A = this chain, B = another copy of it.
Amino acid sequence: MAEYKSLSPQQLRRELEALRQQYEAAQKKGLRLDMSRGKPGVTQLALSLGALDAVGSASSLKAEDGTNVCNYGAPLGLYEARRLMGEILELPPEQVIMGGNSSLNLMFDCVSQAYTHGLPGGKGPWCRQETVKFLCPVPGYDRHFAVTGHFGIEMIPVPMTESGPDMDVVEKLVAGDDAVKGIWCVPKYSNPTGYTYSDETVRRFGALSPAAGDFRIYWDNAYAVHHLYATDGKKDTLLNLMEELEKTGREDMAFLFTSTSKITFSGAGIAAVAASKTNIDCLNRRFALQTIGHDKVNQLRHVRFLRDITGIEAHMKRHEALLRPKFELVVRALSRELGPLGIASWTNPRGGYFISFDTLPGCAKRVIALCGKAGVTMTPAGATFPLGQDPEDKNVRIAPTFPDMEELREATDLFCLCVKVASLEKLT
């Protein structure tokens, strides 16, 4: 099949007619497939079952410093857990505080603390300020946008490029407006593009000169070690943001987050936030009141199971073996089915959990609706933009991790069919 734009109106109509028949046949299969969330598959979860046995009734329940992990104490988390998460973030344990099982909750807490009490360097609580704005690289992570949306924060989309957010735009907005208090970043294998911020991008982040003293980079390094399907055998690398910030005396300008949600268990991992001493002290004033400290037994389980960054890297290799075929399957199907037609583009990342897919303008909602009606649940169109509003209605997030290979093949084939149908509807 040639590019759709080279076809005559009549040819397009005939093609649409034929594909509609295929779609109707597909609908009758009664599929029930889900590619909506970045959710590990069951075979991936099985890789970490040993963690469940890593602390049992026969184990020592003492942390390195003698803390009994079953009792109160160590509100910042076990030192060895802070060290482990620090290794992922390439930061010393002293700069790391443990959360519960969700780094999202830590991000929420940081924004909430700024909203109710303000942050060091700022002019008080955000709830007392007329307007607070966040920069949101798009397409981006819907749950980030939901947090800032919850606090009534105005979200300004910033275009993502293959080397990270458009830094010309970021620098200008940050320097020119003291209502701009933050930017959401997934710097490595970004959600959903899979792009990793280039060295130059990170250096420019490290040298940002914000108008607001309480501007922070919310650096969600969720996929720091998730080199999952590099078909060229290469790994993306990310400069250490904190080192860059320290070079210019800006170490208070970032909160860094990570978790083991996609290393061990999405439902029962451990999460951490890292920051400068000033910021850590600020957060602790909240955390010390908010909780008696998070689950230390689970922290110990993770330390004993993963050990250190070498153990984590070996473990991620096992995830890679399960995920690479899935991403290859999707990318191959997209290339085969859609490549020649000139109606879509997509990313082909070396890690992370997603493929970002662009339809012709104005087609994404229709594609998702068609998929849904044929039994394949995709992330809602627009989810990758603040307030769910994709101005061009073209971005779709593909999450290939959860279905098994056969389901994934069926879901991807159906997705490609729906993209063709929606594109032809638009073109005819």
How far, in angstroms, from A294 to B296 measured CA to CA in the complex?
14
B45 touches A70 (CB 8 A): yes
For residue A423, CB closer than 8 A to chain B, the reply is no
Q: A265-B71, A267-B72, A286-B150 are in contact. Are A294 and B100 (CB under 8 A)?
A: yes
Residues of chain B with a CB closer than 8 A to A40's CB? 71
In the assembled complex, the Cα of A112 lies from the Cα of B49 at a distance in Å of 36
Is A293's CB within 8 Å of the partner chain B? yes
> How many A residues face the partner with a CB closer than 8 A?
55
Instruction: Output the least CB separation between A293 and chain B (Å).
Output: 7
Q: Cβ of A72 and Cβ of B108 under 8 Å apart? A: no
A116 within 8 A of B: yes
Residue in B48, B73, B267 whose beta carbon sits within 8 Å of that of A267 in the complex? B73
Query: Told that A100-B101, A101-B294, A298-B298 touch, could you supply 10 new A-B pairs with CB distance under 8 A?
Result: A48-B70, A50-B57, A52-B59, A53-B57, A70-B267, A104-B292, A105-B290, A143-B292, A267-B295, A268-B295
Knowing A52-B56, A143-B289 are in contact, say whether A72-B37 is a contact too (CB < 8 A).
yes
The residues of B that contact A125 with a CB separation of less than 8 Å are 127
The distance from the CB of A60 to the nearest CB of chain B, in whole angstroms, is: 12
* Contact call A267/B45, Cβ cutoff below 8 A: no
Q: Are A45 and B68 neighbours in the complex by a CB distance under 8 Å?
A: yes
In the complex, the count of this chain's copies comes to 2
Which residues of the partner chain B approach A294 to less than 8 Å between Cβ atoms?
A: 100-102
Give Cα A68 to B105, complex, Å.
21
A52 to chain B, nearest CB (A): 5
A289-B147, A290-B108 known; A71 vs B39 contact (CB < 8 Å) = yes
Contact B127 A297 (CB under 8 A): no
9 A-B pairs (CB sep. < 8 Å): A45-B61, A45-B71, A52-B55, A56-B56, A71-B267, A72-B266, A101-B292, A116-B116, A150-B289
> A115 within 8 Å of B by Cβ?
yes
Q: How far is the CA of A53 from the CA of B105 in the complex (A)?
A: 28
CB pair A104 B291 closer than 8 Å: yes
User: Is A146 interfacial (CB 8 A cutoff)?
Assistant: yes
- Taken together as a complex, chains A and B put the C-alpha atoms of A101 and B102 apart, in Å, by 13
Q: Assuming the A-B contacts A72-B39, A294-B101, A298-B268, are A56 and B57 also in contact, with contact meaning beta carbons closer than 8 angstroms in the complex?
A: no
**CB of A258 closer than 8 Å to a CB of B:** no
Q: How far is the CA of A82 from the CA of B102 in the complex (A)?
A: 20
- The residues of B that contact A427 with a CB separation of less than 8 Å are none
